[in-house]
Amino acid sequence: MKYSFLWRLLLLLLATSVIVGCGSSGLADVDQSELNQSTPQAPTAIPTVVINERVADGVTLNSFNMAGLNRDQLREILITYTLPSRVIEIDAGALQERVVFKGLKIDEEATSDRLLRAEPNSQIEPVMRIDANEVRSQLILLNDKVRTLTTGPATIVAGDTAYVRQFRAIQGQSIDVDAAELLVIDALDGNQKALELPIITDPERVNPTAEQLQLAVNEMAASWPGVVGIYVYDIDNDQVVATLNEMSVFSGASVMKVAILLNAYANVASFDDEVKEWMRQMIVVSDNIAANRMLAISVGGLSTEDAYRGTQVMNEMFKKLGLQFTYQNLPYEARDYLIGLLNYDIARGPKIEGPPPHTDADPMLRTTPAEMSKVFLEIYRCSQGSGALLELYPETLTAERCGEMITLMKRNGDFTRMMSGLPEGTVAARKSGWIEDMQADVGIVTTPSGRNFLMAIYVYRPITAEVGNLPDEVAAEAIGGFARLIYSAFEPLE
């Protein structure tokens, strides 16, 4: 027994030393990470959801006591359970409306599960089945109302004077129905009482109609103490959009210099630098002597008599273009020389010519807003490779040469009339003119967004002892006002 005890003590000491060695160098050759990886991890505990066989004491469903009921009993009761309609105060931008949702049904299985899981004395809300079709139908009706409220005709913004008026475009709105549907379903499920819906701004603006522009032009013209002539042409859509007294006869004034430019191009195949400088002075600074020089050059001459012959050739061009009341029978400032000194018998137009209302038009230099617009439009069409001019003058006119005329007209140096009503960045190939009782401006306008249209604006006021001649500032304000109004029909305020 003595040896047996000692022997067991020795074995115990040996075992102890091995265990201690394992803690230091006894397993030095073993990869510790392999040991860690081989060690199984205890699984994360998942809470167990207890579904009782019967509803706990004190549990209510919308204030109804459901305690003690089993699943079958719950089903029988819930099948007959009627959910009340739910009301949501909807904020949809321009529309605020109280919307009633009736298509709400109870989900018997999900509601039963909720009741059977409930803790004692809990108040439970039923789980609903929401009719998505009803939600979408309600949203579509709301969207129709929003679009009706936000989509309408463009409005007029008036300034301090009769000649400061311009259109403001209406940019419609609509509900993002797909996104709103999810929000409404969540709101119904959570018994939410108010909800703001996402609104989309329509990409297309509702621009003024031609009828609106026509009405606005008529109203503005009613403030003018004389005759207003207007012609507006949408080049991009090839249509007339507004007119007023467009065939009334007005003095041609310096707007006729565009026709003189065309006449020179139609009859002379090329120009040297000196002639180009005469053209520049005629269009950019409206020099009368330069205009007479171009009339003379159109028939191969330089004198005032040649300029007179140039007017006759130009008048034939007007007839070829179908113009009835547009003509120039005398060069600028040549009355004393040709009539007084040389006794030329110069044709004069009748005192009253064309449809009413009438103006006291220059008997030797006349046009109408519509006919002068045709001159501009034919030059533009020629620059685009089409139109009557290329057929009438195939040997001299090309799209490139007509484009040169357009480019020169864009350099016009008068910024007090049409251009005063146009926003910065607007390009206009144009020509203005003015005499004692009338002023005018005609131009092809290109907006910064690329819209192209033509407008001709003529204003005439009779000379009387009380008011005298028509001052520049009075006429310029009116012409600028009409230009601003017309421009805003194509590019309305936002």
Q: What pLDDT was estimated at residue 12?
A: 40
In a domain, 474, yes or no: yes
pLDDT for residue 125 is more than 50: yes
pLDDT for residue 290 is more than 80: yes
Give the domain CATH number at 390: 3.40.710.10
Q: Output the average pLDDT for the chain.
A: 89
Q: What pLDDT was estimated at residue 92?
A: 93
Task: Say which range, 9-23, 173-187, 308-322, has the weakest mean pLDDT.
Answer: 9-23
pLDDT for residue 23 is more than 70: no
Q: Characterize 441-469 residue by residue with b for buried, 16 or more Cβ atoms within 10 angstroms of its Cβ, and e for exposed.
A: bbbbbbbeeeebbbbbbbbbbeeeeeeee
On whether both 197 and 236 belong to a single domain, the answer is: no
Judge whether 489 and 236 are in contact, CB under 8 Å.
no
Alpha helices, DSSP H only, in 324-448?
A: 369-383, 388-392, 399-409
53: Cβ contacts below 8 Å, ≥ 6 apart: 70, 71, 116
pLDDT for residue 22 is more than 50: no
Judge whether 51 and 70 are in contact, CB under 8 Å.
no
In a domain, 40, yes or no: no
- Confidence band for 41, pLDDT divided at 50, 70 and 90: low
Tokens of 10: 């020795």
On whether both 99 and 246 belong to a single domain, the answer is: no
How many domains does the chain fold into?
2
Q: Kindly tell me the sign of the dihedral angle through the C-alpha atoms of 242, 244, 245, 249.
A: negative
Amino acid at 490: F
In a domain, 427, yes or no: yes
- 3-state class of 373 per DSSP? helix
246: Cβ contacts below 8 Å, ≥ 6 apart: 229, 230, 231, 368, 369, 370, 373, 456
On whether both 73 and 143 belong to a single domain, the answer is: yes
On whether both 222 and 362 belong to a single domain, the answer is: yes
Q: Provide the residue range defining the domain that includes 474.
A: 210-490
On whether both 330 and 426 belong to a single domain, the answer is: yes
In a domain, 482, yes or no: yes
On whether both 375 and 472 belong to a single domain, the answer is: yes
Judge whether 119 and 151 are in contact, CB under 8 Å.
no
Q: Note the pLDDT tens digit of each residue in 456-483.
A: 999 999 999 999 999 999 999 999 999 9
On whether both 147 and 81 belong to a single domain, the answer is: yes
In a domain, 54, yes or no: no
269: Cβ contacts below 8 Å, ≥ 6 apart: 395, 396
On whether both 229 and 80 belong to a single domain, the answer is: no
More confident residue, 382 or 102: 382
DSSP state, residue 493: B
On whether both 405 and 429 belong to a single domain, the answer is: yes
pLDDT for residue 24 is more than 70: no
DSSP state, residue 58: T
Judge whether 392 and 267 are in contact, CB under 8 Å.
no
Does this model's pTM top 0.85? My answer is no
In a domain, 44, yes or no: no
Amino acid at 434: W
On whether both 260 and 193 belong to a single domain, the answer is: no
Q: What pLDDT was estimated at residue 406?
A: 97
In a domain, 137, yes or no: yes
Q: What pLDDT was estimated at residue 316?
A: 98
On whether both 186 and 284 belong to a single domain, the answer is: no
On whether both 307 and 289 belong to a single domain, the answer is: yes
**164: exposed, middle or buried (C-beta count within 10 Å: 0-12, 13-18, 19+)?**
middle
Angle at 485 between CA 151 and CA 323, to 5 degrees: 120
323: Cβ contacts below 8 Å, ≥ 6 apart: 367, 371, 374, 375
Task: Compute the distance between CA of residue 318 and CA of residue 310 in angstroms, rounded to an integer.
Answer: 13
In a domain, 403, yes or no: yes
